[in-house]
A and B are shown apart, each in its own frame.
Chain A
Amino acid sequence: AQKITQTQPGMFVQEKEAVTLDCTYDTSDQSYGLFWYKQPSSGEMIFLIYQGSYDEQNATEGRYSLNFQKARKSANLVISASQLGDSAMYFCAMRGDQFYFGTGTSLTVIP
């Protein structure tokens, strides 16, 4: 069974606009962690943000925030004020009994 689902294979956003990348997860664990990573076309991997299941506040890192809705089992990534350099693949992941990655969402920022 797929543990992490990213339903948006590709997304477009206008520069300076905000964009939400969806991620839903499936776990029966009480303790788990949720992650987002960015991979530009250059192939490097960049860790963006982490949310623990017991964290009461949504995680934020600069222009990135994780919209954590525990009851809905969603961990959407919100990027505010998109920049051209945000164009990349974005992967959602969960640490539970094992570590699961989603299939990714390709984000293109349009000037």
Chain B
Amino acid sequence: DAGVIQSPRHEVTEMGQEVTLRCKPISGHNSLFWYRQTMMRGLELLIYFNNNVPIDDSGMPEDRFSAKMPNASFSTLKIQPSEPRDSAVYFCASSGTGGWNEQFFGPGTRLTVL
């Protein structure tokens, strides 16, 4: 079974550009999470979907960030316009238990905004 798939694994972009991070959860899982990790801020939960519906987006830093889950097998996290302080590792995780338990993480996307 494939785990959580994230693409790209690495992204380098220039300030002001639009960035789209992609996540494919484990088949059959109905909860999806986006996390961010930086040296300055540590780990943060950005948004949580259940059955494709955003349940908690209180961690989304500002309007430049948006996340969508158009279907059960795909989610995107978009940053527009990107800024250097958005440089981080972005993790996607999915859970099949309909909640917070047993989350499986993807390998992460390392984003660098110059």
Chain A: residues with CB nearer than 8 A to chain B?
33, 35, 37, 43-47, 50, 91, 93, 95, 97-99, 101, 103-104
Q: B78: shortest Cβ distance to chain A, in Å?
A: 20
* Given known contacts A98-B58, A101-B44, A103-B42, A45 and B108 CB-to-CB distance under 8 angstroms: yes
Cross-chain contact of B100 among A91, A95, A104 (Cβ < 8 A): A95
Q: Summarize B's interface: helix, strand, loop or mixed.
A: strand
Question: Once the chains bind, are B100 and A35 in contact (CB under 8 Å)?
Answer: yes
Chain B: residues with CB nearer than 8 A to chain A?
35, 37, 42-45, 56, 58-59, 89, 91, 93, 100-105, 107-108
Number of A-B contacts (CB under 8 A): 41
Residues in B with CB closer than 8 Å to A33 are 100
* Least CB separation from B43: chain A residue: A101
Q: Summarize A's interface: helix, strand, loop or mixed.
A: strand
Question: Once the chains bind, are A47 and B44 in contact (CB under 8 Å)?
Answer: no
Q: A74: shortest Cβ distance to chain B, in Å?
A: 19
Residues in A with CB closer than 8 Å to B89 are 43
Question: Once the chains bind, are A99 and B59 in contact (CB under 8 Å)?
Answer: yes
* Least CB separation from B58: chain A residue: A98
